[in-house]
């Protein structure tokens, strides 16, 4: 029986105090997600050529997806029978409600009142009574019929379409009608504040955008840990942690590209990840508009200090709107909600809400979030929203969890939904698919911290492993076998210089394609690239080979399909103007000359194969490597130095069998 129940939720209510668990209500457990990736240590010096071969040793692989149905203990979860669609009503109003009893009494009264008043009136009364009983007491696919009717009425009457070329502000108006965004001073600088009838929201993006090395993960505190202690001087608050990720290889990267990258990482490294915090102060009696604003500013400052090394950055108005659009996968194409799914341009999306939490303390449940982000979808978004706590400070704050899957086709979405059901059932939880209310589900998986019906007490969420920092494109392995990844693609342009040769550039291009990137090559030596292009192919077409200097449109490259522009055309002047977002420019140099020093010093990322002594001196000066520059002449021919903001990592390229056959040994020259 499917662990995902069908049917939409109650429509999202206006942001406010929200539901508070009743005394004695059962509490849900939790689990701690493991990072999709591998913690690695930093080498002090590179390995010198000893003939040894490093291997990829990536830990924390997503566990095998379970099979729904009766089972014994599995993945640390005590054995229990899968409750399928009925589990949706095991908490929070699962039983008969007072209104249903009253409706039944009215049905009986209608029949009794019609007795003795003639056959037509009695028949009419029986029909009315039957209809009332059916609406109040019949379940269809695990939900009361009156709930289905409420969902259908909301689906039919609300706005469900966003037109062509609508901007992120239009998207916000669709998912949160009446909300406005303006700028204010938060945490020492201008920041966006989203304001609606329920309160004010500030957005914090986690992670340093300039840190392009992904060889270490950092823990994110559970949202409940960021809530202040309730008191008369603290307004009611909601904290939402939104995590978005894409797998690697992406589902569309089939054939040579996908198979090779899967051999390299065993599917254990995410291609991209993103974390955003939404902090909402709720309107309440005794709190004026003027009082809420400094309360929000103080809360944001406290959270920024609490997060420390995670580098939480309040977003300004343009950045906040851009993030909302990117997290919704909205690229200006029409958005339309139908009953079973949501269409946004070429993508189809489906939303879900967790209605039955995993078993307390189960190891597999603690790793739930990273396993969700590794599902075989184009992108997965997970929302954890907590608060507000009870005014008296007793009991755990109500917690909601929602999941949104995006896919390139309905067939791909079906595969991802099935995998999602098996995963959640395997850790002892149950999801409800929000059919008829996917627009509300979209709003619940955007960083606006809306209040919705269904929050539950979940006191053990603090031990869930929520991490950030390891996703990216795998360059190679360190001396311990851990993955060295780089974040080539981000909401701004990335400048990369590779000093070595065409083969190393082709290796990076092949691996970037596994992350869903488009690759365009500007080259003055097309014959050096043509065998590679013929051997690789590409989803949706081939890799274009264009002459140096031919421009590429700024519109090419999105969050889900970024652009890698390979420039293999001799010495290049350093770019002085920032390029488009979601574009990485890889400048390939066979040798490092004084003419390249300026471009190298301005590069966001440098990848260096073994250098000659004169080249190493130039690189050391340009990148500020100090004494480490001497090692650039002594590393193995299949190793590279990866440099980002004077942080140096040594990586063994570790080509896969497919890469070795297609490209050859990625040695310099």
Helices within 242-315 (DSSP H only): 255-265, 289-307
Can you read off the two tokens belonging to residue 201?
A: 């929201």
CA angle, 47 then 50 then 54, to 5°: 60
CA distance 475 to 202: 36
Q: Is the domain of 457 the same as that of 560?
A: no
Say if 32 falls within a structural domain.
no
Q: For residue 468, how many other CB atoms are within 10 A of its CB?
A: 19
* Domain span holding position 78: 4-21+69-91+158-468
Task: Please check whether residues 281 and 181 belong to one and the same domain.
Answer: yes
Whether 64 is covered by a domain: the verdict is no
Q: Are residues 242 and 327 in the same domain?
A: yes
User: Does 311 reside within a domain?
Assistant: yes
Q: 273: burial class by Cβ within 10 Å (0-12, 13-18, 19+)?
A: buried
DSSP 156-168: HHS--EE-TT--H
- Residue stretches of the chain with pLDDT short of 70: 1-3, 5-95, 141-142, 148, 391-395, 452-460, 538-541, 572-577, 669
The label of the residue with tokens 């993030």 reads 323
- Indicate if 557 and 614 belong to the same structural domain: yes
Domain limit, last residue, from 128, 156, 184: 156
Phi, psi at 477, each rounded to 5°: -125, 150
Residue 58 falls inside a structural domain = no
| Cβ neighbours around 31 below 10 Å, total | 30
If asked whether residues 509 and 496 sit together in one domain, one would say yes
Inside any domain, residue 33: no
Q: Are residues 80 and 108 in the same domain?
A: no
Q: Same domain for 370 and 380?
A: yes
Element (H, E) at 139: strand 139-140
Q: How many CA atoms does the CB half-sphere of 664 hold within 13 Å?
A: 12
So what's the pLDDT on residue 456? Answer: 60
Does residue 455 sit in the same domain as residue 308?
yes
How many separate helices (H) and strands (E) can be counted in the chain? 16, 29
Q: Which residues contact 341 (CB under 8 A, 6 or more apart)?
A: 348, 349, 350, 410, 413, 438
468, 493, 522 — which closes off a domain? 468
CATH number at 541 reads: 3.40.50.300
pLDDT of residue 11: 41
pLDDT of residue 483: 93
Give helix 119-137 / helix 98-114 axis angle, nearest 10°: 170
CA distance linking residue 119 with residue 125, whole number of Å: 10
Q: Which of 406, 434, 468 is where one domain is finished? A: 468
CB contact at 8 A, 135 and 296? no
Q: What's the structural domain count of the chain?
A: 3
Based on the domain organization, do 264 and 141 belong to the same domain?
Answer: no
DSSP class of residue 595 equals G
Same structural domain for residues 445 and 483? Answer: no
β-bridge pairing 398-407 and 456-457: antiparallel
Same domain, yes or no: 411 and 264:
yes
Q: Residue 271, Cα to own-chain centre: how many angstroms?
A: 11
Residue 203 lies in a domain: yes
Given its phi and psi angles, is residue 545 left (phi above 0), alpha (psi -120 to 50 degrees) or beta? beta
- Cβ contact 86:4 at 8 Å: no
Q: For the CA atoms of the chain, what is the radius of gyration?
A: 28
Q: What CA–CA distance (Å, rounded) separates 184 from 187?
A: 10
User: Do 487 and 442 belong together in one domain?
Assistant: no
Rounded distance between C-alpha atoms, residue 31 and residue 358, angstroms:
7
pLDDT score for 123? 81
Helix pair angle (255-265, 526-536), 10° resolution: 80
- Rounded to the nearest 10°, the torsion over CA 354, 355, 359, 361 is 50
10 vs 132, 242, 445, CA distance in Å? 21, 21, 16
């Amino acid at each position: 029986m499917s662990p995902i129940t069908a049917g939409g939720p109650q429509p999202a209510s206006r942001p406010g105090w929200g539901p508070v668990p009743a005394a004695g209500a059962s509490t849900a457990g939790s689990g701690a997600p493991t990072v999709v990736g591998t913690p690695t240590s930093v080498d002090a010096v590179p390995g010198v050529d000893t003939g040894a071969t490093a291997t990829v040793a990536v830990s924390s692989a997503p566990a095998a997806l379970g099979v729904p149905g009766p089972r014994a203990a599995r993945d640390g979860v005590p054995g229990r029978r899968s409750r399928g669609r009925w589990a949706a009503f095991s908490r929070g109003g699962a039983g008969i409600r007072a209104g249903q009893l009253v409706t039944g009494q009215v049905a009986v009264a209608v029949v009794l009142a019609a007795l003795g008043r003639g056959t037509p009136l009695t028949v009419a009364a029986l029909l009315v009574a039957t209809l009332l009983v059916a609406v109040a007491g019949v379940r269809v696919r695990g939900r009361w019929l009156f709930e289905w009717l409420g969902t259908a009425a909301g689906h039919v009457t609300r706005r469900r379409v966003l037109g062509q070329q609508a901007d992120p502000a239009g998207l916000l108006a669709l998912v949160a009608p009446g909300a406005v965004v303006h700028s204010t001073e938060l945490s020492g600088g201008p920041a966006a504040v989203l304001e609606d009838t329920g309160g004010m929201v500030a957005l914090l993006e986690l992670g340093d955008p300039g840190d392009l090395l992904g060889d270490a993960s950092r823990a994110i505190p559970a949202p409940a840990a960021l809530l202040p202690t309730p008191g008369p001087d603290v307004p009611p608050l909601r904290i939402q942690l939104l995590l978005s990720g894409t797998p690697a290889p992406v589902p569309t990267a089939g054939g040579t590209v996908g198979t090779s990258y899967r051999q390299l990482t065993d599917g254990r490294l995410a291609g991209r990840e993103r974390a955003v915090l939404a902090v909402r102060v709720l309107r309440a009696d005794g709190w004026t508009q003027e009082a809420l604003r400094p309360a929000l500013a103080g809360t944001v400052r406290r959270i920024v200090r609490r997060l420390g090394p995670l580098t939480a950055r309040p977003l300004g108005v343009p950045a906040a709107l851009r993030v909302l659009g990117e997290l919704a996968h909205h690229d200006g194409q029409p958005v339309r909600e139908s009953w079973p799914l949501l269409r946004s341009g070429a993508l189809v999306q489906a939303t879900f809400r967790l209605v039955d939490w995993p078993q307390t303390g189960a190891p597999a449940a603690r790793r739930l979030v990273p396993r969700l982000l590794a599902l075989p979808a184009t992108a997965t978004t997970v929302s954890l929203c907590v608060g507000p706590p009870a005014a008296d400070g007793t009991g755990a704050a109500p917690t909601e969890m929602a999941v949104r899957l995006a896919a390139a086709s309905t067939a791909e979405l079906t595969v991802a939904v099935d995998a999602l059901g098996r995963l959640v059932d395997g850790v002892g939880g149950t999801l409800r698919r929000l059919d008829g209310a996917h627009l509300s589900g979209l709003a619940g998986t955007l960083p606006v911290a809306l209040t919705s019906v269904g929050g539950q007490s979940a006191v053990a969420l603090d031990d869930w492993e929520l991490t950030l920092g390891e996703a990216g494109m795998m360059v190679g392995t360190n001396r311990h076998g851990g993955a060295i990844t780089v974040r080539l693609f981000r909401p701004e342009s990335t400048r990369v210089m590779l000093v070595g040769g065409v083969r190393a550039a082709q290796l990076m291009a092949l691996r970037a394609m596994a992350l869903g990137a488009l690759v365009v090559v500007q080259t003055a030596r097309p014959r050096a690239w043509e065998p590679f292009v013929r051997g690789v192919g590409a989803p949706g077409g081939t890799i274009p080979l264009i002459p140096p200097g031919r421009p590429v449109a700024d519109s090419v490259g999105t969050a889900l399909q970024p652009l890698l522009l390979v420039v293999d055309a001799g010495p290049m002047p350093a770019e002085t103007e920032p390029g488009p977002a979601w574009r990485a420019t890889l400048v390939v140099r066979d040798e490092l000359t004084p003419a390249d020093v300026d471009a190298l010093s301005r590069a966001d990322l440098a990848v260096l194969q073994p250098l000659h002594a004169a080249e190493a001196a130039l690189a050391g000066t340009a990148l500020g490597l100090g004494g480490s520059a001497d090692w650039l002449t002594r590393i193995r021919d299949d190793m590279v130095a990866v440099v980002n903001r004077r942080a140096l990592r040594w990586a063994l390229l570790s080509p896969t069998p497919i890469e070795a056959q297609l490209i050859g040994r990625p040695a310099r020259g």
